[in-house]
Amino acid sequence: MKVRTLKLREAHKPASNGSPSFCSVLWDQQAHHLVTASSSDSAISIHDSLLPSQAPKILRHHRDGVTALAISPNSTCLASGSVDHSVKLYKFPSGEFETNITRFTLPIRALAFNKSGTMLAAAGDDEGIKLINTIDGSIARVLKGHKGSVIGLAFDPNGEYLASVDSMGTVIYWELQLGTTLHMLRGVAPNTGTDCSVMNVLSWSPDGEMLAVPGLRNDVVMYDRDTAEKLFSLRGDHLQPVCFLSWSPNGKYMATSSLDRQVLIWDVEKKQDIDRQKFDESICSMAWKPIGNALGVIDAMGKYGIWESVIPSSMKSPTEGISNSQSKNSNGLVFFEEEEKEEEPGPSGSLSDVGEDSFGESPPSRKRLRKQSVTEEFWEDDDAFEEISLPSKLKAQKTAATKHKEGPDKVKECVRNVTSLERPKMQDAFQPGSTPAQPGKRRFLCYNMVGSITTIEHEGYSHIEVDFHDTGRGPRVPSMTDHFGFTMASLNENGSVFANPCKGEKSLSTLMYRPFCTWANNSEWSMRFEGEEVKAVALGTGWVAAITSLHFLRIFTEGGLQRHVLSLDGPVVTASGFRDQLAIVSHASDCLPSNDQVLEYRVFNISNSTQLLKGRLPLSPGSHLTWLGFSEEGLLSFYDSKGVLRVFTSQFGGSWVPLFSSNKAKKSDENHWVVGLNAGNFFCITCKKPDLFPQVMPKPILSILDFSFPLASSDLGADTLENEFMLNSMRLSQILEQMEEMTRAGLDASSLDDDAYSIETAQDKCILRLIASCCNSDKLVRATELVKLLSFANSVRGAIKLVTALKLPNLAERFNTILEERLLKEKGEKDATVTVNAKTDKYTARDVLGSKASPAPIIPSASPHLSAPPLVKKAKLQDAAAPDKDNGVKVDAEDVNKSGEVNNDKLVEAKKAGKDAAEAKSKTHRPFNPFSKTKDDHEKGKSVAGAENQPLQRPSNPFLKSKIK
């Protein structure tokens, strides 16, 4: 085989004494950048692969050489470890420094992100492995078991295991959920000793079925994922131990480098090398290009290069078939389908027992037996059987077919049994943010956006702990010994409430409240209910709620005063509190034949003793409720077992809006366990199937997801913009509703006015981008509909410039007509408002102009019948059309006259009245307007779309003036 040569370029200076260093190289996911580092250089270089002649971006934050690099799967975060004992995070590709996420007492040697990017593993000469939550920087767990420096880490692509190797050649499989050692393979890799320029590495195959480790015979050994058994080895022409290996993106090929300064390319399936390259120095690190047919390499002297066309064109590309393999592994049912195909009965219609009539075939491997046992446990588990939720008729037919040999009477009995088992069952009561009891394990009684309450059972008592996510937000709460056996709890900033089911001969249920801060001693209190069981609890501002098995809603004050007792319409399912609001979900009737739960929600205002909302809860078909709560802004929300998050809004008279669907956001082997939400994000804990809830230990990793409407696939191809458009519209309507409520209550709503203005500006920018997409897709009618939704006249002018630049004169003319009609309409409404206000105060514009003898300002008299009108969209649209001091109404009049369609006598009179009113306003004193924006805010809104400059002002409100005065 012909040996190829590749020229390398210097990326990092070698050590001052000329000794070799350990250097690293990696690609980002889009193959736009190549990142390099060296243990003899404290700098990290980010090279632009599209412009190789351009100087790289240099990151200098370490005080000593960089020994490890890792990049998150979505290529937004870069991690680096150094001889200076620190691990740092950067934004990528900008290279902006974010944080020192952890420190060790000795140099770092290895880093690795998990597949979701939520966890970073770091290790080095300390012999311990730290698992770090990348969201909050907390240490989830420290794994200890190695006796030498840990120099290689690799997360299993399926998220179950972490593999590590040390300088003494020991490989350990770690079980991530429990943090225990699953397998330990001693001395299977070369002993690197104290030579820091050589690192043992190990790597999982892309499908996660094999672990590749450098062997003791200048080869690479493949170990089974589950049993750690040796499967086969790749042994060729390497003359010295393998020091680095790298799988191709599709797992068909592997690149290995050795101390003999050769790089070999292997066809893994055929177990033979297909190409090789000789270098002047040993290659420390390699990385396959995620897109294309290339391999990035760097040697021990800090020189790097890109090996193009690694795989011959006559063979399968190293990136071919990636999507197919991923889709196969993403479906959890493929595993069972493969098993069924392997065990299909022969012509005789039956399967032979293991060990009988095997005709010399080898017995099943341990991996095979493990999968078979998992399959049997799955089908024997009642919960798993119920989750499949086949229709009753199909289940009855399947059962009858398997029992055919037992006779018709037995078949009828089986059908009756299956029918009775499939009768829909009403959902049991549960507490939001709680997890089921597990013998010998700590579990969550409550987990929300404030903190968590955990408990673990001992003989005769339980141990309860309260923790806050933000330690500065709440006081430190001492742990509690629980002799009542509490099974439910609720938590907020002021205190916690606990309850237990009925116990003892008298069947007593206990409710207990513990405040965190109080001026009085012995402020903790408890209540007992005989023959009545607490099913759900909730907390708010100054109140505690308990819903019982007798369908009673019991309201207590924070001090323990029994305030209200109400009867509910049906059995409670769950409850949640937020400030003055209490939300309760209960059964409205039995389940429907389609297995749908019929649930009803009610929202009470405890301080006012009123009911705010009541209605049917819109669950997904065939689902049940899994979480209920309020957003940080106070919006009622719930999450069902089908993975749909819905939020209640005032739109269309009060409707539930689906803001998130896990079907699009999660992978097939993941479940989302809800924690809470705010105005822009959804907070949850991602659990690997079959787990439906998190464990207390290790500390759960919080995932932050963006809201996403379940939109249809649009022909526009701008799903992200359409989602942003709908979110802005919903948020704007919520803010306007709050402003109306504050105005009706006589409160100052100017703070929300700034928020509304910001969202309007962002919405206009989004609409302009949508208009550009419509024009590019030749959807001109849709573009016309969008331009009518712009808030500011300047934005409309920007849209006119946009379509003019795109050479669409007909659309530009239509946009111009829409602008003229809008300005005319706003002008007419403004004049009508001035006239009505003048008549109400027994003054007209002419009286004001003619009153030369009365220089004092005319102040409208207050009227008890008039209140501030609600702030509607029309009021906002007047901002862009408001006349400035120089041009007055003339600018608008000139624009309107261009249309030639609205020039009549009435319009002339309206314009004249408008000019008179404007002059009157300039001579009169303007009272304070809480809706008016500051000068700085006006400056922000002068150029929303980069069009002609006109100051944006909110119109004065005569009704509001009279009320304030």
The domain locations on the chain are 21-308, 442-706, 718-828
- Is 554 buried (19+), middle (13-18) or exposed (0-12) by CB count in 10 A? buried
pLDDT of residue 837: 61
pLDDT of residue 195: 75
Identical fold between 21-308 and 442-706? yes
Q: Which residues of 10-31 are buried (b: 16+ CB within 10 A; e: fewer)?
A: ebbebbeeeebbbbbbbbbeeb
- Token pair of 729, please? 């519209």
CA pair distance 440, 594, nearest whole angstrom: 38
CA pair distance 47, 10, nearest whole angstrom: 12
Task: Give first-to-last CA distance, the chain, whole Å.
Answer: 95
CA pair distance 828, 115, nearest whole angstrom: 60
Sheet holding 97-103, edge to edge: 66-71, 77-82, 86-91, 97-103
CA pair distance 171, 692, nearest whole angstrom: 31
Sheet holding 451-457, edge to edge: 443-447, 451-457, 462-468, 480-482
Which 3-state string (H, E, C) describes 644-696?
EEEEEECHHHCEEEEEEEHHHHCCCCEEEEEEEECCCEEEEEEEECCCCCCCC
Q: Which of 482, 483, 447 is nearest to 695 (CA)?
A: 447
CA pair distance 65, 69, nearest whole angstrom: 12
- Token pair of 854, please? 């009365």
CA pair distance 144, 180, nearest whole angstrom: 9
Q: Which of 180, 140, 184 is nearest to 165 (CA)?
A: 184
CA dihedral 260, 265, 268, 270 (to 10 degrees): -100
pLDDT of residue 3: 54
Q: Mean pLDDT of successive 10-residue segments in the chain (965 residues)?
A: 72 86 92 93 92 88 94 93 94 92 93 92 91 87 91 92 93 90 92 78 93 93 93 91 93 93 93 91 93 92 92 89 49 34 38 37 42 42 41 42 46 44 76 90 93 89 90 77 92 93 81 88 89 94 95 95 94 96 95 88 95 94 94 94 92 91 76 91 88 88 89 86 91 88 84 88 94 92 94 93 92 93 85 66 42 40 37 40 37 37 42 47 41 42 42 45 38
CB 798 within 8 A of CB 945: yes
Half-sphere exposure (Cβ direction) of 6: Cα atoms closer than 13 Å:
25
CA pair distance 646, 659, nearest whole angstrom: 6
- Tell if the pTM clears 0.95, that is, is over it: no
CB 131 within 8 A of CB 139: yes
- Token pair of 661, please? 């669907």
CB 920 within 8 A of CB 849: yes
pLDDT of residue 840: 53
CATH value of 442-706 in 3.10.180.10, 2.130.10.10, 3.90.1150.10, 3.30.70.260? 2.130.10.10
Q: What is the DSSP letter of 128?
A: E
Q: For residue 378, what is the enclosing H or E element? A: helix 366-380
Domain 21-308 of CATH type 2.130.10.10: yes
Chain center to CA of 45: 31
- How many Cβ atoms sit within 10 Å of the Cβ of residue 49? 17
pLDDT of residue 619: 94
Helix (H, G, I), strand (E, B) or coil at 1: coil
Strand ranges for 92-127 from DSSP E: 97-103, 108-113, 119-124
Q: How many residues does the chain have?
A: 965
- Token pair of 456, please? 């673990």
pLDDT of residue 332: 34
Amino acid identity for residue 143 in this structure: L
Strand ranges for 804-918 from DSSP E: none
